[in-house]
Amino acid sequence: METRSRFWFTSLLLTWVLSVGGKEVQDESPCNFPAIYNFGDSNSDTGGIAAAFWQMAPQCGETFFHRRTGRGCDGRILIDFIAQHLKLPYLSAYLNSIGANFRHGANFATGGATIRRQNESVFLNGVSPFPLDIQVVQFDQFKSRTGWFFKKDKKKSHRRNLPRPEDFSKALYTLDIGQNDIAAGFRSMTPEQFNKEIPDIINQFAEAVKNLYEQGARAFWIHNTGPLGCLAVTLNYSPGPDPDSYDPHGCDKAQNNMAKEFNRQLKQKVNKLRTKLPHAALTYVDLFAAKYELITNAKKEGFLDKASICCGYHKDNEHVWCGNKGKFNGTQVYADSCEDPSLYISWDGVHYTEAANHWIANHILNGSFSDPPVPITHACYRH
């Protein structure tokens, strides 16, 4: 019986045929992505919003880069670990005009970005003027203009920072966005009102994916949104008087439930896109589950409590954001960073530390939280 089972399993592996970019392959060799094109918000912004407006706090970047790089973190963020895992350079922000290298991709994400355009501003609520549809327009322009220069300019020294036109269809397209749409919903709507808006937001996300597909994108790695109700800023700024408003791990149930509903509809839409985009490989990554696992097992994993914030001043209901100054009872306070960021999950109340990002990367890149359950190195295969 054991021999027959082994034979059946071996036969299944030998006859399993997958499709990649419309072509059939007989094995699962790594995809060998030549580039990454990323779209999103501050969770994956490597300098876009800083290039457009102002730099991050001086503490941002202190752990790994030892300088400000436009990341809302003490060091590397998730997209950095993705690039590193695929043996590619860290992504240059599309809006960064100094020292940018786009040979192996570009990052269109900007802090505060949303899927759906908001009637707000970066000066009012920190909302980026570059929502997802504009990021896709920027990608369209980027693809067209770099292709023109690559074709016209024959000098290798001029071409070396430009993407090869043939690499666009072979690249990995990563998307991590939606958190700020939910945050905007909490600011301006009741949960019931926002629930009615989720389908429209998800449809706009799908339109962006379809637009990229029409531009030649084939391999998509799509993150859902994380547990907003577990963010340190949520737990420090708006503690609810009702203990029933928190789940067994101390996270705000209302915010997490909203994120779960958003993710449920996002996953449904990704499933539908698989039938509508016949040559695309779409991997849906449950970032909510990965982050929730880290947060609820913080001490077991060597971190402080989820509500602890490394950079910023948050005491006695007085709050000063990372790198800023405040005055309380006649005393000036400077919101500096902690001594050891590697002990913290939360960098500044909203964003994760490099150590937390590294933990999350180690748990999602192998496919453990993916649908289909494939590692990112094999995300070009259709299932």
Q: Please give, one letter per residue, the 3-state secondary structure of 226-237.
A: CCHHHCHHHHHH
Q: Name which of 254, 246, 361, 263 is nearest 306 in CA terms.
A: 246
Which helix (H) or strand (E) covers residue 202, if one does? helix 191-214
**Catalytic member of 348, 358, 370, 378:** 348
Mark whether 368 is an active-site residue.
Answer: no
Mark whether 348 is an active-site residue.
Answer: yes
Residue whose token pair is 């029409």: 214
Report the alpha-carbon distance of residue 347 to residue 146 in Å, rounded. 36
Mark whether 42 is an active-site residue.
Answer: yes
Which residue type sits at 76? R
Q: What is the phi/psi pair of residue 245, to 5°?
A: -80, -5
**Residues β-bridged to residue 174:** 38, 221
Report the alpha-carbon distance of residue 114 to residue 40 in Å, rounded. 8
Is beta strand 325-328 parallel, antiparallel or unpaired with respect to 331-334? antiparallel
Which residue type sits at 78? L
Q: What is the phi/psi pair of residue 10, to 5°?
A: -65, -40
Q: Encode 110-149: b = buried (16+ Cβ within 10 Å), e = exposed.
A: bbbbbbbebebebeeeebbbbbbbbbbebbeebbeebeee
**Catalytic member of 41, 42, 45, 176:** 42
Q: Reduced to 3 states, what is the DSSP secondary structure of residue 141?
A: helix
Q: Strand ranges (DSSP E) for the chain?
A: 18-20, 23-25, 36-40, 105-107, 172-176, 219-223, 281-285, 312-315, 318-321, 325-328, 331-334, 370-371
Report the alpha-carbon distance of residue 373 to residue 365 in Å, rounded. 10
Whether the CB-CB separation of 303 and 232 falls below 8 Å is answered with no
**Catalytic member of 104, 223, 314, 351:** 351
> What is the full DSSP assignment across 73-120?
SSS--HHHHHHHHTT-PPPPBTT--SS---TTEEE---TT--SS--S-
Question: Which residues are known to be catalytic?
Answer: 42, 348, 351
